Amino acid sequence: QKNLNILSPDQIQLAKMLLEMGQSHLFNHWSEPGQHDEEKRSFFDQVSKLNASYPGGLASYIQNARRLLADSKEGKNPFDGFTPSVPSGEVLTFGDENFVKFEEAGIEEVRNAAFVLVAGGLGERLGYNGIKVALPSETTTGTCFLQHYIECILALQEASCRLAQGQCERQIPLVIMTSDDTHARTLELLESNAYFGMKPTQVKLLKQEKVACLDDNEATLAMDPVSKYRIQTKPHGHGDVHSLLYSSGLLNTWHDAGLKWVLFFQDTNGLLFKAIPAALGVSSTREYHVNSLAVPRKAKEAIGGITKLTHADGRTMVINVEYNQLDPLLRATGYADGDVNSETGYSPFPGNINQLILNLGPYIEELTRTHGAIPEFVNPKYKDSSKTSFKSSTRLECMMQDYPKSLSPSARVGFTVMDAWLAYAPVKNNPEDAAKVPKGNPYHSATSGEMAIYRANSLILRKAGVEIADPVKATFNGQEVEVWPCVTWKPKWAMTFAEVRSKVGGSCSVSQSSTMVIKGRNVFVEDLSLDGALVVNSIEDAEVKVVGPVHNKGWFLEQVDHKDTSIPEEIRIRGFKINKVEQLELNYTEPGKFTYKS
């Protein structure tokens, strides 16, 4: 009461709401007016932010928390009444006629798409000190994830607009969801690299806010451990992306500009864009409102499983069941062994790689109804089995892939399964944890993420007719991986299999220890026999043909130890560095037609 006259009318309203919601403890220790007034006002700035950034405000947050905490205390199964079964979706095989057809359809559509990268997570499992999008996706060229993603989007934009025969000026929008943990560093990375070639107006950063922490089952808001005038906060999860997009007004702007698709993706999957054209082709051909990308999943692998859930009352939905919930759900519903591999060597439930393609029209309709609120969950760590107190404060969380949960059963929700070697190699685990991954399961480390890029590029070239030597096995940071030739190309060289095929001709071969880097759109390799390192740089208007044998000492992977702090962190977490001994480097900086023949 005594402090009322230092507060604005809005702040008084917020204080009333907190008192009505049983949060009087937040004010118990408040000092006399005239003392700590600045801190009191900044407390209300924080409350106002927490209130504005949650659909329905803080009062809703507290109500939702009480309901979910009560359910959790009771041990209520979130899938109560639902029986899981294996769903059917579009299963694609890289390079076959069907795949090529979907890729063509995807390229046609992609100029009508917007991309949304969720990059608010700090990656605690990886333990890297920087932001994850700044990590090199591979160290042959040192291209970081964000640069790679942007160059892929620009290459898709060019390829799609070419099909529109000069009728298309579209600049595909990119939204990046950041958080307080990643925002400043993401902006700095973009600004210091001229947005990696995108127009700054093409890129929009939306920062997610954290949510209030909860001390007990009554949803008592937790005080910050260091300030008596601050509420403790923690991240709310990637599901925030929907409410942020809704409140930004961008969805309507996109719709008015004629866009049809929104593609969501995560921070460290260097393969993902190899799967995008075909997956978007599936969305447009099958007219899916929601299309999730999936890969065959090893049982118990730490990625969610796409599952069909059928309720006793007849309702069905196809939805991601998170990795920690799938096994208990299966055990509770008649699958005595839980989440186990079938005779194929994989779980029958495809793995969700959290790449979602949403049809913009129905997405806007749904968000107009929900304002982007996504079903939440709470995961308190209880002190004991009475479940009355927590080891540390908790908070509500939400996941972007839970968006379909609130859709009506008539919504067209599908999924597309791709080969894992083509579509999925995230960098999530630190070297120690990766080395402990059970044999046969993917490491999801910086080591495996980089090796997967070389393997995918090698396999794509093989499928295009290039003779690629078999890989050798090597162990880096305690992880045994296949080492393929280190092949990379800029996205503008080829974004689809048909493009790759059109750029390699005759009888080409690449030895196992070779490196090939193609940095130019119009580079053609013909009857190339590569044993060593070859780097081709060329400008857009140069048409370059590389023919014949290229032999030199090449580049080598040299072991490094992840504990050796004299080596930069982004290198040592891979367990190797590239020793560049000798290469043939071809540079074409003038327009024209050129042939290199050794």
Residues interacting with ligand UGB, by CB under 6 A? 118-121, 177, 179, 235, 237-238, 266-267, 303-304, 320, 322, 352-354, 399, 401, 426, 428
Q: SS3 for 30-63, per residue?
A: CCCCCCCHHHHHHHHHHHHHHHHCCCCHHHHHHH
CB-wise, 277 or 305, nearer to ligand UGB?
305
CB of 241 to ligand UGB, least distance (A): 7
- The CA–CA distances, whole Å, from 338 to 323, 325, 341, 478 equal 12, 10, 10, 30
> CB 181 → ligand UGB: shortest distance, Å?
9
Which residue number, 356 or 364, has a Cβ lying nearer to ligand UGB? 356
Residue 350 or 532: the one with the smaller Cβ distance to ligand UGB is: 350
Q: Quote the DSSP letter at residue 346.
A: S
Beta bridge partners of 536: 518, 586
Select 62 or 302, whichever has its Cβ closest to ligand UGB: 302
User: What does the alpha-carbon distance between residue 71 and residue 77 come to, in Å, rounded to a whole number?
Assistant: 8
CA distance 411 to 524: 45
Smaller CB separation from ligand UGB, 305 or 380: 305
The per-residue b/e assignment along 376-397, b for 16 or more CB within 10 angstroms, e otherwise, is bbbebeeeeeeeeebeebbbbb
Would you say 530 and 552 are in contact if contact means Cβ atoms under 8 Å apart? Answer: no
Would you say 278 or 353 has its CB closer to ligand UGB?
353
Burial grade of 259 (CB within 10 A; 0-12, 13-18, 19 or more): buried
Residue 267 CB, shortest distance to ligand UGB, in Å, is: 3
In the complex, the smallest distance separating the C-beta of residue 271 from ligand UGB, rounded to whole angstroms, is: 12
Give me the least distance between CB of 595 and ligand UGB, in Å please: 43
- Nearest residue to 97 via CA among 423, 502, 498: 498
The partner residues of 579 in beta bridges, in order of sequence, read 556
Nearer to ligand UGB, 131 or 523 (CB): 131
Considering the complex, what minimum distance in angstroms separates the CB of residue 245 from ligand UGB?
Answer: 13
CA angle 124, 416, 489 (to 5 degrees): 70
- Taking the C-alpha atoms of residue 70 and residue 218, their distance in angstroms, rounded to an integer, is 9
Question: Toward ligand UGB, which CB reaches closer, 428 or 492?
Answer: 428
Q: Closer to ligand UGB by CB, 72 or 179: give it.
A: 179
Residue 458 φ/ψ, nearest 5 degrees: -65, -45
Please name which of 283, 309, 556, 267 lies closest in space to residue 414, comparing C-alpha atoms: 283
CA distance 448 to 438: 14
Nearer of residues 204 and 501 to ligand UGB, judged by Cβ: 204
Return the bridge partners of 240, or none.
none
Shortest Å distance, C-beta 135 to ligand UGB: 12
3 state SS for 396-414: EEECHHHHHHHCCCCCCEE
Residue 265 Cβ vs ligand UGB, minimum distance, rounded to whole Å: 8
**Checking phi first, is residue 354 left (phi over 0); if not, alpha (psi -120 to 50) or beta?**
left
Query: Taking the complex as a whole, how short is the minimal distance between the CB of residue 305 and ligand UGB, in angstroms?
Result: 8
CB of 399 to ligand UGB, least distance (A): 5
Q: What is the smallest separation between the CB atom of 132 and ligand UGB, expressed in angstroms?
A: 6
**Minimum CB distance to ligand UGB smaller for 179 or for 359:** 179
Rounded to the nearest whole angstrom, what is the least distance from the CB of residue 417 to ligand UGB in the complex? 14
CA Rg value for the chain: 26
d(CA 364, CA 357): 13
**Closer to ligand UGB by Cβ: residue 252 or 324:** 324
Which residues, 6+ apart, have CB-to-CB distance to 1 below 8 Å? Answer: none
Q: How far apart are CA 138 and CA 228, in angstroms?
A: 46
